[in-house]
Structure 1
Amino acid sequence: MKISFLIHNVCGIGGTITTTFNLAQALADRHDVEIVSVLRSRDQPALTPDPRIALRFLVDQRHEKDDALYREPARVFPAAEYRYREYSRLTDQRIAAYLETTDADAVVGTRPGLNVHLALQAPDRVARIGQEHLTLERHSPRLRTALRPAYRRLDVLTTVTEADARAYRRMMSLPRVRVEALPNSVPDPELPPADGRAKLIVAAGRLVPVKRYDLLIHAFAPVAAAHPDWSLRIYGTGPQRDALRALIERLGLSNNAFLMGAATPMEAEWVKASIAASAASFEPFGMTIVEAMRCGLPVVSTDCPHGPAEIIADGTDGRLVPTGDRDAFTAALLELVRDDERRRTMGRAALENAARFAPGTVVEQAEHLLAEAVAARAAGRRTPRPPGGRTRALLGHGFAARDLALTAAARARRTLRKDHR
């Protein structure tokens, strides 16, 4: 199969980009794979793609901001989507042109707004797979209303947890769409796993409020007081850095808790530790939890919606504590800090249990979903796209005939021949 991933901007840093690169690389072992980035904001992406994976860009933000269409609001990308302000009539045209001329058997959209483009504009011969990396409950009612009619045009919709898949099946009325949980994968570690001897707790992720690093630091304070030879390292960057540094100083933890900045890859930092921690109030999946477990670390995590409880077996390979409960978090950390054998046993269990998130396991499920969707399209088991009037209604912004004309094959081929690398 030829598989194409449509992504927002590979030049950034984030879980969706990492997950897309991981899955694309695993699929490239047996398939022709490309990643199409709608936007380009710098010379090279943050992650280096596998050389077998073709990478192309549709709109170069560095050089095309003077285009008149770049300054006009998007008419296809839903206005209620978080990234709407970064989209325009120019992105409308370029995405439509790409979809019009793609030779992919299946196109995978990686965020709600791009799934809308895919559902409404992909040719009938192309299997349409939409991915949701957040959760349905995090989408505003306005966005859900915009997504529902478009998502009915998809062949497959994947979520990262079974809990979210159940929510989509129950609440979105997608009777002809296959809704499946497809967890994120984490590459096989290259370093020996942690041995549980280091007196170090590690956490990683964006320094933003939802990650609740403030709670983690507060919860760690009694640990440091009782066991001053233990340290906490937090990896990542973000707007809360100064506030968290001030909190560390105010609690007298400057010799025990450290903001380490970004680290890539994180594997080398995970294996130095003995415990991983995640205090988030919301976690659509929990990529860092899986990363840590694949490096042999037990994880102490809040039992927040949706991911941690589907990853961690409480008491076996980590601990789950009530969301926002500082005292419970402290108690779980102390339990592992004080019991060397329990900590190491949990670490070994984490390494074994997290193997289900290895690329081979996840890619087998992804291949099955893709192959069935492609076969169904080839057999004509999907209804044709709605007529122009219905399409315009679904797009919500009056996707005019002029826009449709601009995606004619001849124009699209000229557009896509440009080398945006």
Structure 2
Amino acid sequence: MARNTMKMILNDFDSDDKLQLITIAAMEEERLNRERCSRRRSGSIEGHAVIYRDRVQGHERLYRDYFSETAIYPAHLFRRRFRMNRSLFLHILSTVEAYDPYFVQKADAVEIIGLSSLQKMTAAMRMLAYGVTDSVDDYVRIGESTAIESLKHFVKAVVATFSKTYLRSPNNDDISRLLAMGSNRGFPGMLGSIDCMHWKWKNCPTARKGMYSGHIHEPTIILEAVASQDLWIWHAFFGMPRSHNNINVLDRSSVFSLLTQGRAPPVNYSINRNDYTMGYYLADGIYPQCATFVKTISSPQGNKQIYFAKAQESARKDVERAFGMLQARFAIVREPARFWKTKIMEDIIMACIIMHNMVAEDERDDNGLDFNYDTISESLPPVSHERTPELFEFIQNHHCIRDRGTHSKLKQDLVEHLWTLHGDSL
């Protein structure tokens, strides 16, 4: 009907008038199409709604509240909300900003100032500390997708810049300090305690749930760690699925790699007039009977064994305390993970461990731990960085680690040693 009416109207005009009328109709139709498109779209992505958040005001409020010389919130509130002291936060900020240009404040194509490095890192830290994204939008003035992007860039930068220092194997000074701590607790030669933690994976793909689920039918990923009395995490191995147990994880981790390669600093100590050349970790009952593990006695007989079991189980809680502190400090590893890729989860948990160690180092003088380093009579030789030993030496070192005879002898010597130190006071 409309086409017939249009034909009747065009028949009343000559050819020039018809051309002009058609041109006007086409221009009007194009204008109407542009209006419909403009109502549907408001941003670079179709269907994306733009919210004017006033980023500059958000930066100014954040700086005025926490980072100015006359900050509104005092230092103890900064420590509670950012999980670290202000000086350490600014040190991480400057290092990350120098490493990744993503955190440098820039202007977009229309000269609108973007988010500052303070806003991006604050959003990332709040997500790590509280485990949610919506809580940072109304204060930091950052959208959910940008906050997640900032988190991914931040954890990658932290792992890349600080892992060599804060995820290192113990050096000579570290071993001296660890041996002093162990000796003061009645465990000469102890380098820490070892255990595993599980992180639930909420968004585990359906095709992989069977591999990442255990007897409780919830997909989780395992973290193996070694921690000392000051809650410093010396070793972290992450990525094994829940279908594995602690022994399988141990076989695939690198906790004894330096020792088997002959490049670990020697640890020489004497217990009950017997000499030992390898340090050990306190472990629970599932771990194998190795010369590098000291386990509790499941059914202790007599006062000596009862006291040893109590002392071992008490000191072994260091790694569990470290897990608890890590989850309390960074709620994102306490709540089920909502990411789809294990690589992102690995970066997140490693970054949390690194910052956990940085906080432990920054606040080490405040925790009241004071050790007598003079108890280590001999200085340790420097760490060897020569080539990996030959296969025969590698196998020999591996057999020394797995020696059950040394494991039993070491445990018995520790039972006698602890009873000699504290038996009279019981």
**Greater Rg over alpha carbons, structure:** 2
Question: Which TM-score bucket, shorter chain as reference?
Answer: under 0.3
Give the strand-richer structure, 1 or 2.
1
- TM-score normalised over the length of structure 2: 0.23
